[in-house]
Structure 1
């Protein structure tokens, strides 16, 4: 602190001075030309300063590092180190990560792996304790149930920052004892929310239970009700769920204050981070929608830091942590230089770092499928209408409809319009298989299968014929998880995800290149541009998001709270 004070007083040289840049001041939402002096990992002062190293920022902008307020590293399908290479390059210096995907498959071993792995990366990763493992009692995960007593020892771990998204919102509203135990355990820390479509008195009860944030709002009406109820609003823009435009259009039109709003990605694939960006993409879209630039940058940094009680982060100001970005174009959010904890990120060096070897057999051999054949995939059908899953474009919501299915000899005969969806338990427990019809995926002459299936991560497959579905599923078993595309009796593409069946132990570049090829194959087989072929597949079984979901135990109506 002494050195910090001496530099601020002008009595000692700064380590680094960012000279003549335009500082985005998140306190006043002004943009002011001034120097920024850095000593160690802190900003010492703003003003006229000299340093041991000077970086000329003339004509450029100096912004706080971006913060992703809620995300799952596993959705990038790479290790934390590989994820950081992509996100840091886009200006994201801090993330709040919920590792409930790993924990659903592997339990404590998965959590411990994540806590160890985040130490390999220069990015700051705050781990939020998975709150709902399993997400519900109606499907089968690998880890079984994680109770408050299982979480308690981790309260002493400084890497564990709070309680992750409380997905069992109905149980919160009903004051379920097990859920209240968890909320009580984390009552002095941040508790993230997850309450899609919750409204009125149940929403008030959810907030009264101590839930601090909400990220499931899909439109202006839902978002404004949650803001008015006192939630910190995390505006989501991921790969499948893209809610930013619908929400911010309404906020701008109605002149809603944005002090309690920030950004999150929730689930975003590497190729989307590479192609369009991470939190920088949110800032860029917000500005394009009419949010003042300084406000948009504040939402991406200071607002998130305050929401999570990080009082020394998220601003370009004296005493704050030196997580800074040099921006070439304010509106386009073109990140030219990233400073993390006072050090300039050397991306050549970072990108040359290799993933630590993974040798634990439990981490690498998690797919334990029952013996299955085409008879297990049959679905009875006659002229009676049945419930059908309908995918929703650019959303992880689904809708339900009642349809008469195409059939032959009393059995559902899938086609391009009515694909067949299957969920197969893969943790070596029940061996259950759920089968239903699904509309909107539109695959023809093939099938796609994956072991990435939120949140229980069983096998989910969709196709227009049983032979290709079965072939893709069996290939997943052989490679121990990932994504597989089969067409006309052949495996045409595969992305192995060896770690828990959801994460690759290869480099991000390898994963991205293979995933790009697989997306092209999926489009060629008919999956429409409005549907992310892999993210959509991965959410078919998530029974905490309305409306109609398929589990290893059958078709489930979330709104009714029952199998149908």
Structure 2
């Protein structure tokens, strides 16, 4: 049995005795916050003029007696007219696109003091060592991090399922609070592979993070019976209630990938208990993070959507902590808990004036007080694009020896959802080419790690591209490069530029690079500051729109073509994959 994750944050016997002495008034506190109103997330009350005493990283006392804990060397924070709320907890996100030293300043100022992040992006590109390197980057930061182990559900057989011995090593780590999102299709289609992985986590008291989009009836019941403890996929109040009734914690996404809070907000009129409802980001892309903020934006929106302010704060604090079994150390303002406290203008305004994390003031008066630690990624982390040779235009040719061929085409029916289209194509000189009049162009995935240069070239309709090419080395659930293009020359150019950069997002046309964002760390992470990443990513999107792509986020659409979670037809280096039954399909319909 692994140690409970909360052990990471617990004080030892000596420290706990010091908290007790402060509470008894026989030892001074390190910090006392006076004159503020405390949001008590345990009772749903707002306690006016409620002092808080802090010793080291933890809260020693809350209430009138805490005021007398101030000594000569005690830091006194006057919160007159202000509201004290627990530090926010993001219970589900992906922090792989930027290094933490670029990411955290924007997170901290908004009041997030704990993050639970997925690690699924690092296992395909770095294996066990890659996951450990990422986990090491989370240590000794101004805020707290926990993580989930990668379930590694993928449409590619190279990545489908993490070996049991590796998962067990990860689950033994204190900072691992559970098994990351495990798509219901994989759990039901491959129970012999997936159920032992789920059980390994359950046996260690860790949570199982779910992904139930599309599961109904008996399939949803079977998925719930597998032990899944949460799901971040509901998009309506009805879907959320259905999961809540099964004892599943519902994570409401309000980030860059999806924004479901407004649509789900009618749940507040349904008469159901909201204590298993959580607010999460599921990742925030750089431009949105710089311009708008992080989890505090979701809490503020919940209030704007009509949720009671205390309930909204609970959804991003105590509710999250309880789900992960961390509520004895974080999630509320109470003795023995970590001193993660926000000083807000009032309970309805989630704009921290002061952020306290682990008993330290880390942000105050619009200034970052404690900068994040910069993690050094060793050279091997910058060698993930292992293509032995440059790609040639001929690598993207599709040969056919018939006058007419019935083929499968990935058809975009939204920016993320696809379906299978079957159509007849007519090869020219023995080759299937793009049909711009029909909106059909080529799409390819090239493996960069397990079987370098192995590739599959298919066809896609509705992507919008009429010229040039766009490529990305951070496709979901795999370790390859995905490229969509109107011609083979630009497809080869885009992939080869990624090879030179050891990762990136590239847009090119007519043999020229129009825009690029280097991602040299594991081929998925930038080493630039957040403003530079946001600027370059915006340039990539603008260049992509110049090729005819009209999706709100062309890069996200490209990344998800390999994803094992979004219906219905996907692509990997092995071929086309139907998510209805998990079968790998050929381009030609036979």
**TM-score, length-scaled by structure 2:** 0.86
- 1:86 is paired with a residue of what secondary structure? helix
Question: 1:419-438 counterparts in 2 under 5 A?
Answer: 419-427=441-449, 429=451, 431-438=453-460
Question: 1:121-136 counterparts in 2 under 5 A?
Answer: 121-132=141-152, 135-136=153-154
Deviation, 1:161, is 2.3
* 8 A contact 2:394–2:488 mirrored in 1: no
- 2:491 is paired with a residue of what secondary structure? helix
* 8 A contact 2:185–2:579 mirrored in 1: no
* 8 A contact 1:355–1:505 mirrored in 2: no
- 1:492 is paired with a residue of what secondary structure? strand
Q: Structure 1: 5+ residue runs without aligned partners?
A: none
Deviation, 1:72, is 1.9
Q: For residues 38 and 418 of structure 2, what CA distance do their matches in structure 1 show?
A: 44
The alignment status of 1:374 with 2:393, answered yes or no, reads: yes
Q: Which residue of 2 aligns with 1:515?
A: 537
* 8 A contact 1:271–1:512 mirrored in 2: yes
Higher mean displacement: 262-271 or 5-14 = 5-14
Q: For residues 368 and 407 of structure 2, what CA distance do their matches in structure 1 show?
A: 59
Q: For residues 235 and 70 of structure 1, what CA distance do their matches in structure 2 show?
A: 10
Match of 2:488 among 466, 476, 479: 466
Deviation, 1:428, is 5.4
What CA deviation, in whole Å up to 9, does each residue of 1:501-522 have, x standing for no partner?
0112333343233223323333
Root mean square deviation, CA, Å: 2.7
Deviation, 1:349, is 5.2
Match of 2:318 among 286, 292, 302: 302
Q: Which residue of 2 aligns with 1:107?
A: 127
Deviation, 1:20, is 2.0
Change (3 A) 1:255 1:438: farther
Q: For residues 221 and 431 of structure 1, what CA distance do their matches in structure 2 show?
A: 45
Change (3 A) 1:37 1:415: farther
What CA deviation, in whole Å up to 9, does each residue of 1:275-332 have, x standing for no partner?
2222112112211221111101100000000011112211122332111112235444
Q: For residues 95 and 173 of structure 1, what CA distance do their matches in structure 2 show?
A: 29
Match of 1:163 among 179, 196, 199: 179
Change (3 A) 1:341 1:376: same
Q: Structure 2: 5+ residue runs without aligned partners?
A: 1-15, 586-590
Q: Which residue of 2 aligns with 1:230?
A: 247
Higher CA-based Rg = 2
The alignment status of 1:29 with 2:44, answered yes or no, reads: yes
What CA deviation, in whole Å up to 9, does each residue of 1:155-174 have, x standing for no partner?
4322222222223x345336
The alignment status of 1:355 with 2:374, answered yes or no, reads: yes
* 8 A contact 2:410–2:418 mirrored in 1: no
* 8 A contact 1:239–1:532 mirrored in 2: no
- 1:107 is paired with a residue of what secondary structure? helix
Q: Which residue of 1 aligns with 2:4?
A: none
Higher mean displacement: 239-248 or 278-287 = 239-248
* 8 A contact 2:201–2:208 mirrored in 1: yes
- 2:299 is paired with a residue of what secondary structure? helix
Question: 1:65-464 counterparts in 2 under 5 A?
Answer: 65-74=87-96, 77-132=97-152, 135-136=153-154, 138-141=156-159, 146-167=162-183, 169-173=184-188, 176-187=191-202, 188-249=205-266, 251-310=267-326, 311-328=328-345, 330-346=347-363, 348=368, 350-351=370-371, 355-361=374-380, 363-369=381-387, 371-379=390-398, 386-390=408-412, 392-393=414-415, 396-402=416-422, 411-415=432-436, 417-427=439-449, 429=451, 431-464=453-486
* 8 A contact 2:407–2:424 mirrored in 1: yes
Q: For residues 419 and 349 of structure 2, what CA distance do their matches in structure 1 show?
A: 36
**TM-score, length-scaled by structure 1:** 0.90
Q: Which residue of 1 aligns with 2:86?
A: 64
* 8 A contact 2:490–2:511 mirrored in 1: yes
